[in-house]
Structure 1
Amino acid sequence: MGLVDKEKEKKVKESHAHYKHLLGKRLKLPTETQEELDRVHEDSQEVALQLFKACNFKDENQQCERELTGLMNEEYERKCKENADLSERHCSALLNQLSAGLIPQAFMKSGGYEEYKMQLDTIIQKYKDTPGKGIGVPF
């Protein structure tokens, strides 16, 4: 590997590290929407690519740029999975907390279904009104 190739590899790593830094700085997981995560990814990717392109070395067939883009896309996919997992765990915990007072035996009486339905509707509304669920389970 020649000096130029080592320099290209170094710039790919630096630009990728900068992308990861920007994601970490700009994202608070779980995000409220997938679009929010997409926007941060695209903005961070653009900055990292500009940093990479500012090096002014010849990148035949844009091989190094493709490598960098691939690394950033892999990191983005990891963040998407992490975002979905965090959101799912948070939503499950919230639903468990909100439904903890529902005791099925308490509704096994005349008029119990109406009482159950009212409590369930209240739980659903509280769930909908709770912020910070991320991309989790919508009702």
Structure 2
Amino acid sequence: MKATSFLILTLLVIFSACNTQKSEDKTTKSAQIVDIAELLQEPGKFENQELSVKGLCIHTCRKSGKKLFLQGNTEEEFLKVTAGDNISTFENALEGEEVIVTGVFLAENIGEETHHEKEHEDSCASEKKPQNFFLKCNSFTVTKNGN
């Protein structure tokens, strides 16, 4: 009887440790805040991952409202952000605001995207700068007073 109780207790401890490990992994994989400069330096490191990025909204697409551009610490550091399925449009009032966007960081097939946008004349002036990645935004918040 003691041996059976000891075996059951041991198994419970093992299963409990396994479940704790899994929940820690889920927390680690949740959206992390990444600097735009870091994304630009190593975009492959973040591809297909959910993350959050904070930056100054320098442009929203006037035609479709489905794109915005965040600027990092310099004018050369910027990130294209596209609206995900649960975002109808990005309002023009976001321009000049500090924004935190959360979504999946993806590589873009430049050839197809450029061809598609030429057909639909939906490209923004800010898209003239070459980039082959973007963030598909699931949610965003405007920060107050830069915080």
Give the TM-score normalised by structure 2: 0.29
Larger RCO, structures 1/2 (Cα 8 Å, 6+ apart): 1
Q: Which has the larger radius of gyration?
A: 1
Give the TM-score normalised by structure 1: 0.31
